[in-house]
Amino acid sequence: MHSFSRPSTPTVDAPREARPGRCPECGAEAIAAYRVMSEGGWWNVVKCQVCLHSIERTPGPLLGAFTPLGAPSWER
Amino acid sequence: MGTLIGVDVGGTFTDVVMVRDGEVHVTKVPSVPAHPEQAVLEGARRCGVGDVAIFNHASTKGLNAVLTRNIPKIGFLTTEGHRDMLDGGRAWRPWKGQLDPRWRRPFGDAARPLVQRYLRRGACERILADGSVLIPLDEAQVREELDLLKRCHVEGIAICLLNSYVNPAHEARIAELAREVLGPDVVISVSHEVGARAKEYPRAATTVIDALMKLIYADYAEKLSAGLAEQGFAGDLNFADCTAALIPWREALEAPHRILFAGPAAGAASCVTLGEAIGDGNLIGCDVGGTSTDITMIVNGQPFINDSFEIEWDLVVNALATEVSSVGAGGGSIVAVSPSGDITVGPESAGAVPGAACYGRGGTRPTVTDACLLMGILDPKGFADGQMELDVAASVRAFESLDCAMSLEERVALAWRVALNNIAEEVVNVAIRHGADPRDFSLVAFGAGGPMLLAGALEYTGARRLIVPPHPGLFSALGLLSTDLVFAESRSAYHMLSPEADGAIDALLNEMEAALRGRMGDMPGIRIQRSFDGRLAGQSWETPFVEIGEGPVDAARLTAAFHAEYGRRNGQSFPDIPVQGVSWRVQLIAPSTRFEWKEIPRQTAPAGPIGHRELRHLTDRPVEAAIYERAELGQGATVTGPAIIREPLSTILVIPGQTARVGRFGEIVIEARA
Amino acid sequence: MTSLRSLDDAAFRARYGCTRFDATVLGNRFAYILEHFCSKLLACAFSPVLRDFYDFAATLTGPPERGYPTPVVSKSFVAFTGTMTESIRNTIEEYGPERLTQGDVIIANDPYRTGTHVNDMLFIRPVFHGGALSGFVNLKCHQLDMGGSVPGGFSATKTSSYENGIVLSPRALMKEGRPVDETWTLIFDNVRFAELLRRDMQTIIACLDLGERQLLESMERYGRDAVLGAMDYVCDADAERMAEALAAMPDGDWTGEALLDCDGVDASEEYPLRCAIRKRGARIEVDLSGSARQARTSINGTYLDAKTIVGVVLKFLLDPHGAFTSGCYRPVDIIIPDGAVFSALPPEGVVFAYGESTNALLAAMFSALAEPLGRGAVGGDTGAPNIHSAFGARPDGSPWVSIGVGGGERGPWGGSSAGDGDSYSIFMSANSIDTPIEAAEADQPLAIMRREYLADSAGAGENRGGAAVLKDTLWREAASHNLFTLRFKWPTGIGVRGGEDGGPGGVWLWRDPPGAGQRPRDGWAEAIGVAGRMDPVSHEPRPDGEWQYFGREKLWRTEAGATFRYLSNGGGGWGDPFARDPERVLADVRNGYVSLAGAARDYGVVILGDPGRDPEGLTIEGAATRALRDRADCATQSATAGGEDRA
């Protein structure tokens, strides 16, 4: 989004979406998908919530939630 | 010309250089850290001092006392509310503490303070920046504080009040009271006398160091002077200051913070005179010692002089000092392995004790010297004039003890390369910091390790050539016979340079000059040098040592000189920005008898090697190096690498592909490979 | 993955395209290349901000094909380090790597793209070797001005990003070695001190030239693959060090919290910052959910600042002497909610004083990690910049301004395994040289009447925190004062391992001039409480006192002779104060860090004597000390036992 309004709640949370499945490393059934900042910038990850093993890591949006407006070639 | 002696007291050895009838004689005496004058007197005995006209001396006694905190108990008096300036310093930290939340200031109260906080007392008084008195001096209160310090049996006191560089009245009065209360035996240093320079912390730290040095050196200098007299010495005894300028010993004791650290400056002075003799004014001096390499840069025959230096991180002393950059790579630097398995060299050092593993004095960790031994650069039997046999097996054991996957050969080869690389990168750094290109400079290799290491670093630096002077191991001591007597004074007064300020600046300079002439008395051939430290409007730091020149002060001339000096130091100038003068300096210089380089005989027949030795790990395959005796090489002799040139106290390595040529004064010039 | 140190020659070469020899030499070389061109920058640039505050950073970055690794950052401002990895990628990807040519300089300064604030301009030089894009040489330097509503930009009361001045998305400043005129004019038509900025920018470009030349020389000598392989190696080594340090810590879940008291609008909203840290094996997750939304004024930072401080804290606590590379983040996942005070978004989430939220995040993480770190924990610091600015006119009408001299710019650090904390330092994540009092007094109408440590203000501990700095500034002309103190509600000098929190800081004001020749101000009662927690009557600082909001006057106007007092927060203690060697407590009493009463109360050490009159005559009363300390032991044991009963 280009223009971001101030959140209406006093505190803010990062969404974490529960996923079905089992961790291949520890076998736990607590998998979640969310966005993290790590080496290489933003990543969308699917991780075991017990042992923190990454089941999936795909690059996230370059600038996170901020998308500049007005650059037609930005879509690439 | 009378006989000259220069003595440089180091941690391990006291280096003695004597010039008698134009001939240089050298000797090394083991230092006696607890009684350094004994080694100096032993050196004097070996030389015989009956005919000696000048005895110049550089000592690290005071510096070592401060570094080890083996110091007398003194008090510190400052403006009430400000005694903690000695704890905070300039409140910044070095790079090694940048990411370390456990870092602490080495001289802070939480570590090793020079003056305990309860001995730092406040005087009720306050002077403002314009010299006016905001709070008058409360003498009764000051007497109470002095009484307390007396009850604590301080041996000395340092006095530094805020803004005393503008108005010293309160400081002067407190000094009188201190003399009255504490009696004649207590040493007193007062900041406006030590150096009336602006910025309270450096001035206060300097005053503290000055008081400590008075206590540390008074006894030493008396013993030295008396001991020399006993040996029949009737000449002049001088101390060298941090620019290697000479000060008659009694004058030196008036402000002994100036003589804290003369060794590296003496090395630079030696480079300057060698450069004058051989017609090369652009030099980078590399003094490779046991723990570090000291690098000094000389441009157009002049070293860079700064207006202050640091004893340890941020412990500032306001004294003229030759600029020296140090990198923790020397002969004793320890070779280690990083957590990822890489070879590292320094900054940790095996020092003089236990020293390199091959010394057989209990060292078990490998050092650069061990690498040189295993490479074949050093001769196990010919070390230190044959006085010491090196233990090759101990070096091997030390390298094998490193926990990494590499072979012994790789460990040694990499240690050598990393050490050279560290030195070379610092050389390049020093040049770039002054806006210079190392390709326009010659390296001068001296110190114990310089001749064996620097030929290998020559190509890394890009410097045009390497010069190994005669007596490389005592080259710094030789610098003590290469400078003049200097009486100096400096004071701060903020003036934007403009015609309106000319009169005030003139008055200040004349007053300082008159005071100096009073102290110096009648000496022949006195020269005057006046300079100032200035800054561009808006900057917070000063560019020191801008020449003022002779005659009445002229703002336009000073401004132009400032911009030129700023450009010389930094490689960039800002001539359209106004200039503010901050500190003003007068030096009276009286020429001293100096040592002069003497030509050596020409080489008549081609130089022949005295033997051969295998050099390993230097290149992919071992190579056979010819060994030469330096004393047998005359002017014009050439030697092609790989080669080793031996002399009693040093080993010179010539890398394959390099050519060494002996110059007029016996200096060996190694050209970089094309 | 096999550890790096166990790789043999063949395996090393296969992975990194060079020998271990060359990787080691090149790793050193990278650091020196930066040092060389930073030396040039410091020598040649005019700007005091660079010289005194190190307010810049330089990096080398690998090419896009390698994922923009950053094997080295310069010896400068740590607050830039983490942003320098993503900001190069963000800028180049947005500009288009395919548009780059040799001799270009690409710039950007938008905090939402490049982190920190608009004054920090990023300059990127793409490096081509044999026609192939092979890396980048980068400098990010604080510029004296970027236009906008406040000269110099330093303000915590801007309310939208439009007040920040010129915001540059990625664009070319130089193309094939030639200036892109419209970029230069765009900048210099919009900033103050344009002539100076222009010359400093020319210096910056010359520095990039030097860095590029030296990186290319390395590629000539060792080959492109070896250089890029060495970049990967250095990052891998850092990642491995961090992973090993994490693995050595016990697994667990911990939380920490810190507070920004308010923003510049009013005191109606507090800004808590929270971190939940989970560590499993060699992996760690730092979740910043539950933290406050972005503030209404320019005390916000961006996600890149949050990322930076998380890495800085992990380096601080786990690997303080290793190189800082992009690889340090490999075992670390940071979960950053959008629109928080450390991840603000435009246009309302205006960013300038990004150091406020990073200070609070540092404190939250220090407190969360105190337990698992054990002896490695470190007490909290002074915690905030606390910069005071003032301005006015001299009697002749000429204006004066004073920034960062008359406030609480320095304070203590916490205790640690290394010993007591220092008392006079800048907050941990910054490093700069302090302005001498005499230099400040020579050109500003002020007199600093007192700058001394306050007894009993340090957080007690086996190793105590540094003491709080009490600083009184007499303003000798009528003045308007701009205050900004955001960390007085909660202690910032948190105690660890049983150490106590440091004492509370604040700001006080005496409006009337002291009498002629009068000594510096003493006591508190007659002063107005401006900021911090204090007793409502005596005005003495008290951890449970009434909190005063500095912003109840937007500008504090004073007549000549007013005195502002700043008291910093005290540093946090490390370890049980009752375990402190009584001799060290005695030394603290002798040296005025601890009072006689404080010694008994906080350390259980009974000391006899008169520290004021007879500092060397103090003695420890052994029996009374043992009694006090035994009683404390019993109390602790019974409390623990009680806890077990309930469990």
Q: Tell me the sheet residues that pair with C480.
A: C391, C557
C-interface mutation test, from B102, B166, B535, B536, most C Cβ less than 10 A away:
B102
Instruction: Find the range with the poorest average confidence among B317-321, B405-409, B509-513, B571-575.
Output: B571-575
Cβ-contact B377, C58 below 8 angstroms: no
Q: Place C153 in a pLDDT band, splitting at 50, 70 and 90.
A: confident
How many CB pairs lie under 8 A apart between chains B and C? Answer: 251
* Closest chain B residue by Cα to residue C312: B99
Q: Which residues contact C545 (CB under 8 A, 6 or more apart)?
A: C504, C532, C533, C534, C535, C536
Mean pLDDT of B318-323: 92
The chain B residue lying nearest C9, using CA atoms, is B406
Phi then psi for residue B2, to 5 deg, are: -75, 170
Q: Give the Å distances, CA to CA, from B409 to B374, B414, B617, C23.
A: 9, 8, 7, 17
**For the residues of B40-58, what is the DSSP string, one character each?**
HHHHHHHH--TTEEEEEEE
Tokens for C337, please give them. Answer: 């909610």
Residues of A in Cβ contact (< 8 Å) with C327: 39
Distance (Å) from the alpha carbon of B471 to chain C's nearest alpha carbon: 32
> Chain B residues with CB inside 8 Å of C32's CB?
425, 428-429
**Mean pLDDT (whole number) for C99-123:** 97
pLDDT of C643 above 60: no
Q: Report yes or no on chains C and A touching (3+ CB pairs under 8 A).
A: yes
Q: In angstroms, rounded to a whole number, what is the distance separating the alpha carbons of residues C474 and C448?
A: 6
The closest CB to that of C280, out of A12, A39, A51, belongs to: A51
Burial category of C285 from C-beta neighbours within 10 Å (exposed 0-12, middle 13-18, buried 19 and up): buried
Give B366-392 pLDDT, tens digit per residue. 999 999 999 999 988 877 677 788 999
Q: For residue range C29-72, list pLDDT tens digits in order.
A: 898 899 888 888 887 888 777 777 788 999 999 999 999 999 99
A-chain CB neighbours of C241 within 8 Å are none
**C221-273 per-position pLDDT tens digit:** 999 999 999 999 999 999 999 999 999 999 999 999 999 999 999 999 999 99
Please say if the pLDDT value at position C639 is more than 80. no
Give the burial class of B632: count Cβ atoms within 10 A of its Cβ; 0-12 exposed, 13-18 middle, 19 or more buried. Answer: middle
CB-based contacts of A8: which residues, under 8 Å, 6+ apart? Answer: none
Its sign, for the CA torsion A48, A54, A55, A56, is: positive
Angle at B276 between CA B270 and CA B277, to 5 degrees: 90
Each residue's pLDDT tens digit, B516-551: 998 888 778 899 999 999 999 888 788 888 999 989
- Which residue from C235, C240, C230, C293 is spatially nearest to C263, judged by alpha carbons? C293
Q: Which of B95, B163, B433 faces C441 most closely, judged by CB atoms?
A: B163
Q: Is the pLDDT of residue C335 over 90?
A: yes
Nearest to B101 by CA among C82, C327, C574, C301: C574
pLDDT at residue C645 above 50? Answer: no
* Best of C167, C332, C336 to mutate (most A CBs within 10 Å, chain A): C336
CA distance C428 to chain B (A): 7
Q: Which residues of A touch C96 (CB under 8 A)?
A: 73
How far C167 CA lies from chain B's nearest CA (Å)?
26
Chains that touch A (3 or more CB pairs under 8 A): C
CA B226 to chain centre: 27
Give the C window 36-55 contacts with B, CB below 8 Å: 36-37, 39-40, 42-46, 48, 51-52
Q: Looking at the predicted structure, is the pLDDT value of residue C642 above 60?
A: no
* Helix (DSSP H) and strand (DSSP E) numbers for chain B: 16, 35
Top residue of C28, C52, C314, C422 to mutate, by most chain B CBs within 10 Å, is C422
8-state DSSP, B155: S
Is C449 in Cβ contact with B110 (below 8 Å)? no
Q: Which residue of B has its CA nearest to C244?
A: B339
Contacts of C394 (CB under 8 A, 6+ apart): C400, C445, C477
| Chain B contact for C32 (CB, 8 A cutoff) | yes
In angstroms, the separation between the Cα of residue C39 and the nearest Cα of chain B is 5
Q: Does the beta carbon of A61 lie under 8 angstroms from any beta carbon of chain C?
A: no
pLDDT band of A73, cuts 50, 70, 90: low
Which comes out higher in pLDDT, residue B59 or C412?
Answer: C412
Asked if the Cβ–Cβ distance from B109 to C428 is below 8 Å, we say no
Question: B539–C51: do the CB atoms touch at under 8 Å?
Answer: yes
Task: Tell me whether C190 touches chain B (CB under 8 Å).
Answer: no
Please report the pLDDT score of residue A75 as a whole number: 55
Is B337 near chain C, with CB under 8 Å? yes
Q: Give the β-pairing of B579-590 and B527-536.
A: antiparallel
Query: What is the average pLDDT score of chain C?
Result: 93
Neighbours of B493 (CB within 10 A): 20
Which range has the worst mean pLDDT, B407-411, C175-179, C277-281, C488-492? B407-411
Three-state helix/strand/coil letters over B403-446: CCCCCHHHHHHHHHHHHHHHHHHHHHHHHHHCCCCHHHCEEEEE
Q: What is the pLDDT of residues C373-402, one digit of tens each?
A: 999 999 999 999 999 989 999 999 988 988
**Who contacts A51 (Cβ-Cβ below 8 Å, separation ≥6)?**
A23, A25, A26, A28, C280, C281, C283
The residue count for chain C? 647
Choose among B92, B101, B540: nearest Cβ to C378: B101
Instruction: Give me the pLDDT at residue C633, please.
Output: 79
The C-alpha R_g of chain C, in whole angstroms, comes to 26
In chain C, the residue whose alpha carbon lies closest to the alpha carbon of B495 is: C442
Mutation target for B interface from C1, C2, C5, C201: give the one with most B CBs within 10 A. Answer: C5
Task: For chain B, say whether C235 makes contact (Cβ under 8 Å).
Answer: no
CA distance B253 to chain C (A): 28
Length of chain A: 76
**pLDDT digits 0-9 by tens, B127-161:** 999 999 999 999 999 999 999 999 999 999 999 99
Nearest-by-CA chain B residue for C199 = B574
- Nearest residue to C353 via CA among C505, C191, C547, C163: C163
Contact between C197 and C145 (Cβ < 8 Å): yes
Q: What is the pTM of this model?
A: 0.93
Interchain contact A3–C (C-beta under 8 A): yes
B185 touching C, CB under 8 A? no
CB contacts of C239 in chain A (<8 Å) are 39
Smallest Cα distance from B478 to chain C, Å: 32
The pLDDT assigned to C514 comes to: 87
Q: Are C438 and B134 in contact (CB < 8 Å)?
A: no
The pLDDT confidence band at residue B23, using thresholds 50, 70 and 90, is confident
In this complex, do B410 and C21 lie within 8 Å of one another by their Cβ atoms?
A: yes
Task: Enter the ipTM.
Answer: 0.96
B residues 88-107 lying closer than 8 A (beta carbon) to C: 88-93, 95-96, 98-105
| Phi, psi for C13 (deg, rounded to 5) | -65, -40
Q: What whole-number distance in Å separates Cα of residue B138 and Cα of residue C290?
A: 58
Strand ranges inside B130-279, DSSP E: 133-135, 156-159, 187-190, 236-240, 246-248
pLDDT 10s digits, C559-582: 999 999 999 999 999 999 999 999
* Locus of tokens 């004039």: B385
Q: C317-353: b or e for each residue (b if 16 or more CB lie within 10 Å)?
A: bbbbebbbbbbbbbbbbbbbbbbbbbbbbbebbbbbb
CA B184, B189, B192, B194 dihedral sign is positive
Query: With an 8 Å Cβ cutoff, are C349 and A65 in contact?
Result: no
Judged by CB atoms closer than 8 Å, whether chains meet at C278 and A14 is answered as no
pLDDT at C141: 94
- Interface with A, mutate which of C114, C259, C333 (most A CBs under 10 A): C333
SS (H, E, C) chain A: CCCECCCCCCEECCCCEEECCCCCCCCCCCEEEEEEEECCEEEEEEEECCCCCEEEEEECCCCCCCCCCCCHHHHC
C128 in B contact zone (CB under 8 Å) = no
Tell me what pLDDT residue C646 has: 35
The better pLDDT of the pair C636, C318 is held by C318
> C-alpha B412: how far from its chain's center?
31
Phi, then psi, of B567 in degrees rounded to 5: -65, -40
Q: Which contiguous run of DSSP H or E holds residue B194?
A: helix B191-195
> Is C418 a residue whose pLDDT tops 60?
yes
Is the pLDDT score of B110 beyond 50? Answer: yes
Contact B571 C518 (CB under 8 A): no
- All residues at 6 or more sequence positions from B432 whose CB lies less than 8 Å from its CB, including other chains: C36, C37, C39, C40, C43, C210
For the cut 60, the answer to whether the pLDDT of residue C214 exceeds it is: yes
Summarize pLDDT for B286-299 with one digit per residue, the tens.
999 888 899 999 98
The Cα–Cα gap between C451 and B50 comes to 57
Q: Using the predicted structure, report yes or no on whether residue C459 has a pLDDT greater than 60.
A: yes
Q: Which residue of A has its CA nearest to C349?
A: A6
User: CA nearest B165: which of B125, B142, B211, B199?
Assistant: B199
